[in-house]
Amino acid sequence: MAAIGLSSLMGLILVKQRSLSCGSDVELVRANNSRFFTGIAFAEVPALAGFVATILVDSTMPYFIGAGMAACGFALVAPTRSELRRTQELLRSDGCNRSLGAIMAKPLGGAPM
């Protein structure tokens, strides 16, 4: 369980460090959404592995361990104010002057996500 949890958290960290496309507002929103949902997928892995292990070993302990690790992953990927600030700093360091917060707050004219 520990190896699965740690590899999941490492994958989540790598996803969060991925740069975002800044060609247009729609590209930026799509890239940010993609990064967010990929992070959610990595965060869920320990809970799913714990569920499978619970069935295999007939004990609830693996699930609770996996759920705790998943909760840590969800906390890392949560769209908090500080996470938005960190992402905005990454965008600026990549030469993108678009405001992710402002773009995420406005409708994009019915553009499919």
Q: Is residue 46 part of a domain?
A: yes
Tokens, residue 44:
């869920």
The pLDDT value recorded for residue 19 is 84
Q: Is residue 93 part of a domain?
A: yes
For residue 29, give its domain range: 2-105
Q: Is residue 80 part of a domain?
A: yes
Q: Is residue 8 part of a domain?
A: yes
Into how many domains does the chain fold? Answer: 1
The pLDDT value recorded for residue 64 is 95
Q: Is residue 81 part of a domain?
A: yes
* Closest to 45 measured CA to CA, from 70, 65, 63, 14: 70
Q: Is residue 112 part of a domain?
A: no
Q: How confident is the model at residue 112 (pLDDT cuts 50, 70, 90)?
A: low
DSSP character string of the chain: -HHHHHHHHHHHHHHHHSPPP-SSHHHHHHHHHHHHHHHHHHHHHHHHHHHHHHHHHT-SHHHHHHHHHHHHHHHHHS--HHHHHHHHHHHHHTT----HHHHHHS--TT---
